[in-house]
A = this chain, B = another copy of it.
Amino acid sequence: MCVRIKAYMNQNNSNILKQKNIGNIADLKDGDKFSGIVKIMKKWQPGPVIFTVSDGYGMVDAVIKDSKFDTGDIIEILGYANERAQKLQIEIEKIREAKIDFDLIVDKNSEPKNTSFTITSGRLEKLRPYFNSIAKRIRKAILENQPIMIRHHADSDGINAGLAIEYSCSLLMEKIGANPSYNLYRSPSKAPYYEIMDAFKDIVLIKKIIEGHGQKKPLIIVLDNGSTKEDIFGLRTMKSFGLEVIVVDHHNPGDVINKKTAVDPYLSFHLNPYIEGLDSQLCAGMLAYELAKWICEDYSNPSLPAVAGITDRSNIEEAEEYIKKSGRTKKELEEIGIAIDFIAYQLKFGSGKGLYEELYINPELVKIINEEVRKGVKNQLESTLPYLRTYNISGITLSTIDLEKYTMKFKYPTPGKVVGMIHDIVVIDRESLPVITIGYLADMIIIRANKPVLPVDQIIKRIRKDIPNAQAEGGGHECAGAIKFIPAHLNDVMENIKNQAKELNYEKEDKQEIC
């Protein structure tokens, strides 16, 4: 407000002669004459009245000595734009009430200006209606000065999704004269779902924003999380506070009935490829990147969806297309993804604002981090591989490793990643056979497989039946997942899984290969 008053005091506008009549705020320049209908978004008090007004797209401050009009009023004003340095404002000369359906204007301007995808994809076309309604909703929030609060999974896919939406929203805000510093928030969720702890923290922050700064209730956008039954608790909680949540995710939402999932009652919009009969291969980073281009057509970072696809092991043609479009090699993109995952591990709950972005423009940083990660990988493999136990169970190669004993704690790569790396090595020269690799901790096992002979959800279901006291829970894809349980039952759980493999009688089964 201090800035505003100074500009107001400065009456001798040297540009007053080169004035032009301008009707839309976004194009307004110093010395232009503006006349048009606007909505008051905010009235700053006390002192000479300063309104933040919007013509349904652009936002600008407009000053007048005194006025009875208030936030929410639709008014017609006439005055000269006055710029000192970067900051523009209109000095109101005439002001009067306006009768107009202002919502109609906002609604029209909320329509995405770009509605094409960056690649040709039948999968994306199938999801077009979701892109349209979600992009419009987010643009509308920005035009109406509603804050945007982004929560995303804290892995490469989720972080890339978060960055894409953050940057496109930021660009649109700047275009229309809104300030991203007060209107845009982004934080990671360490869990692979919208955890209740995160929801509670978000609510505390929202209360602070609303009460402290007099802002509107933010629009919540959950990315690469939000679709599964684990998300219900957090989403329900947000809804009970009257908050609107949009989810863009690619994880399996479970049953889809009439295009509705279990989390839909708590969302205004839900974009998930499974809802349209697709799978998880269009990952969150890809979906969010395309959405970002619809939110603000100026946004672009073609490497981003490629990195997301590689780190989430997407192998559909869209993934290849993104890699091609990125203008980088697959190795370069992969190394950016590895660096993102490493930084996320180090920062824990920090958003890493300004740090992840650097990876796309600072190859030296990517190189430094990858060198270090490679050392860690080498160490973890050297310390675990000699102690890997490998069984041939009726044709299935099942390997187990005690992660508690054979890995170092609080070291990157994490136990989960170590199991993946071990698995990739076990699979070598066994590509045609089913290989399952299991790492176990005191109360958790991590599973990786190259073929979906024993899907993780099926393993859990069976353990819950055979060893109910183990309270097994968890989940994952067909060929990767994690199971948590009561520590006392570790041995029983391990034996049970081996039995499940045995019962498959795989050697006698039809061979199929998918993972």
Which residues of A come within 8 Å of B, CB atoms?
A: 1-3, 5-7, 9-10, 45-48, 83-87, 181, 196-197, 200-201, 203-204, 207-208, 211-212, 233, 236-237, 240-241, 343, 346-347, 350, 352-355, 358, 362, 364-365, 368-369, 372, 379, 382-383, 386-387, 402, 404-409, 443, 468-471, 484-488
Q: How far is the CA of A487 from the CA of B368 in the complex (A)?
A: 28
Verify A354–B203 contact, CB threshold 8 A: yes
Partner of A1 from the list B2, B201, B470 (CB cut-off 8 Å) is B2
Instruction: Tell me whether A10 and B46 are in contact in the complex, defined as CB-CB below 8 angstroms, given that A237-B365, A484-B408 are known contacts.
Output: yes
Q: Verify B47–A368 contact, CB threshold 8 A.
A: no
Q: In terms of DSSP, what is the predominant structure of the interface of chain A?
A: helix
Which of the residues B83, B240, B355, B469 comes within 8 Å of A386, measured between beta carbons?
B469
Cα(A323)–Cα(B252), bound, Å: 46
Q: Check if B486 sits within 8 Å of A353, measured CB to CB.
A: no
Bound-complex Cα distance A488 to B386 (A): 12
Which one, B47, B48, B343, contacts A200 given CB within 8 A? B343
**Considering only CB atoms, which chain B residue lies closest to A353 in the complex?**
B204
Residues of B within 8 A of A468 (CB): 382
Q: How far is the CA of A221 from the CA of B41 in the complex (A)?
A: 41
Q: Which residues of B contact A488 (CB under 8 A)?
A: 387, 402, 405-406
A225 to chain B, nearest CB (A): 17
Q: Which 10 A-B pairs have the closest CB atoms?
A: A6-B47, A207-B354, A46-B84, A45-B85, A405-B488, A46-B85, A2-B2, A240-B364, A240-B365, A197-B346
CA distance A347 to B87 in the complex (A): 40
The interface residues of chain B lying within 8 Å CB-to-CB of A204 are 347, 350, 352-355
Give chain B residues whose Cβ lies under 8 Å from the Cβ of A343: 200
- Chain B min CB distance to A21 (Å): 24
Cβ contact within 8 Å between A241 and B362: yes
Residues of B within 8 A of A409 (CB): 443
A5→B2 contact, CB < 8 A: yes
CB atoms of A46 and B383 under 8 A apart: no
Q: Which of B46, B352, B382, B443 contacts A469 (CB 8 A)?
A: B382
- Cα-based distance from A409 to B386 in the complex (angstroms): 30
Interchain nearest-CB distance for A68 vs B (Å): 12
How near does chain B come to A40, taking the closest CB pair, in angstroms?
Answer: 14
Q: Which residue of B lies closest to A358 (CB)?
A: B241
A-B contact pairs, 12 of them (CB 8 A): A1-B2, A2-B5, A6-B46, A7-B46, A10-B46, A10-B47, A45-B86, A240-B362, A241-B358, A382-B468, A383-B486, A406-B486
